[in-house]
Structure 1
Amino acid sequence: MTESRKPSVLFVCVHNAGRSQMAAAFLTHLAGNQVEVRSAGSAPAGTVNPAVVEAMAEVGIDLSAETPKVLTMEAVQASDVVITMGCGDVCPVFPGTNYLDWQLDDPAGRGVEAVRAIRDEIERRVDGLLDELLSA
């Protein structure tokens, strides 16, 4: 990260329909305009998981208008931090980019009860990430 611009984070999971959407939404919500936030998937789904939309609505974050996006090399290159969530080796690696892998359960096929625990863990991790980003 350079001192002259705000940090940039990319969250990546396979379908960009659950974990990466929740993480991006939490970071956007918590950081405001202090961090540039992206999310993408290696094999994007057609829509965001309805249980994820419901679980996030419970904490006041509306994902109903979000759509899964395809992972591009440009998005990776433009990011200071890339956080992967179960997408394996599909994420291109560039020098100078900080890569983190968050091991999280996949909300695909789970009801809102199970998604709540995943949501809460993502929020905890995003809060810690934001502290690190803003203190750097």
Structure 2
Amino acid sequence: ETSQKGTELFHLQKELLREKARSSILEEQLKPINIHRWRRLEGSDPGKYQLIQKIQSLQKRLIVKTQELEERELLLQEKEKLYVELKHVLARRPGPEAAEQLQQYQWAIRDRTKKLKALTAELLILDLRM
């Protein structure tokens, strides 16, 4: 089980690194390389310029959403880990059968305590007669 969790942790870390690299690549793509060329494009072909701006805007939104997704996935992984731990704790707890058996033991102890008191009283009476 621990080796399985170790393998799973390795894969998750590898995936996290891949997503971070992807995110940084997208961030690099957002940086304008030659802003003056785009300004010339704005004057000569405003439609194309608007499309480029729209692409940039969408890429920024994609980066933000990707980061939000990463945060939520990490939170989900933490919640799943907590769920598994709680599940193991509950599995170790005694069930209703154990509670019923405990109650039967308590009744048996009460019954034997009553019998012991009766025998003690009877023994005391016999000692007083002698």
Bin of the TM-score, shorter chain as denominator length: under 0.3
With normalisation by structure 2, the TM-score equals 0.28
Answer with 1 or 2: which has the greater Rg: 2
With normalisation by structure 1, the TM-score equals 0.27
User: Which structure's relative contact order is higher, taking Cα pairs within 8 Å and 6+ residues apart?
Assistant: 1
More strand by share: 1
